[in-house]
Structure 1
């Protein structure tokens, strides 16, 4: 057996064991909590609402953070949720955020309650 196959088997066995051991306490828990995780990415400081209300939303329109936050709250209505972001919130930012060194974007993310 080659070293590569041996490593693959070891990796698979380790992954399965870790998964089973990590999930075991949850399988025997009497109480459980349900929550949602919502994630945003590639905000790039686009804070302003760029939707044309007369013509309706078009491809490429920007909804801005106020409408984004409203959408997140609506999707997660009546449930606990955590809001996360996977990056690209600043840098390459729209003018409205770039002029402040992305301070306004960070303020908006904090106000939205980004958890991670």
Structure 2
């Protein structure tokens, strides 16, 4: 017998979405080659579990944008469009995902450094 859903009932997120959120948090916490390799392994782990690369890309972008100011959001969105286009054209999806993360890390690190200099 099926029990109907109530308005107050919460829907839990799938494990892979939580994993993706943790991955985005890792990217924001530290921008280093070591962290990039850790993130690459996590992205590959998602792909191995049959999460489509475009879903990974969009979810990652959604999570990363939450940590940006308006100028950085604009730059990130433009970069994301280019990398997503390449992802759709290419066959080695992990390369495009990793390149996007590397680009974001470099841009975010520069953003943090500039803000620290202003203070």
- Taking structure 2 as the reference length, the TM-score comes to 0.29
Richer in strand (by share)? 1
- Taking structure 1 as the reference length, the TM-score comes to 0.29
